[in-house]
Amino acid sequence: MERTAACPCRQLSIKVAGEPKLVTACSCTQCQRRTGSVFSYSAQWTAASVLGIFGQRQIYERVSGSGRKARQSFCPNCGSTVFSELDVLPDHVVIAVGAFADPSFAPPSVVLWSASKHPWVGLPREAWLVAGQGGSSISRKQPGEAQRSSETEEAHD
């Protein structure tokens, strides 16, 4: 299966093959600020699954508290982020699910930074909630029952 994600003005797009390796939601404050929403909704593909990147893009690069870089590729015309490349996920591309404009897209199976999730946000019951970035803080809790973690959000990639 091939899918194409694009910004609203369709100037920037990325085409991928196959199914995503992981679909996540992230409630960290960096993702809240980046998306202008209360969480991001993203899908990860291997770099080998990318069939092409089309159009011009600007890249916003930031360094997390852990020192790893995150590069968000966005349209220079409309400003929408379409995909990201993260040092924490080498050889992968993380694509904004909304850029596919596909209401049948899979729900997130993992929710990162659930400790900073807005309390009114409902999430899929089967999703793994991770209080921080990941690792040992993964917990099979229901939305609203997020496990607290000693990790700090500044370490988020």
Q: What is the pLDDT of residue 68?
A: 86
Q: Quote the tokens at residue 65.
A: 């508290």
Q: pTM for the whole thing?
A: 0.80
pLDDT tens figures, 76-135: 999 999 999 999 899 999 999 999 999 999 999 988 878 888 888 887 777 877 776 654
State whether residue 143 is helix, strand or coil: coil
- β partners of residue 18: none
DSSP 33: H
Q: Give, for 112, the enclosing helix (H) or strand (E).
A: strand 110-112
- Of 93, 98, 86, residue with least CA distance to 39: 98
**Residue found under tokens 């897209």:** 105
- Domains, the chain, in order of start with CATH, read 2-146 (2.170.150.70)
118 or 23, higher pLDDT: 23
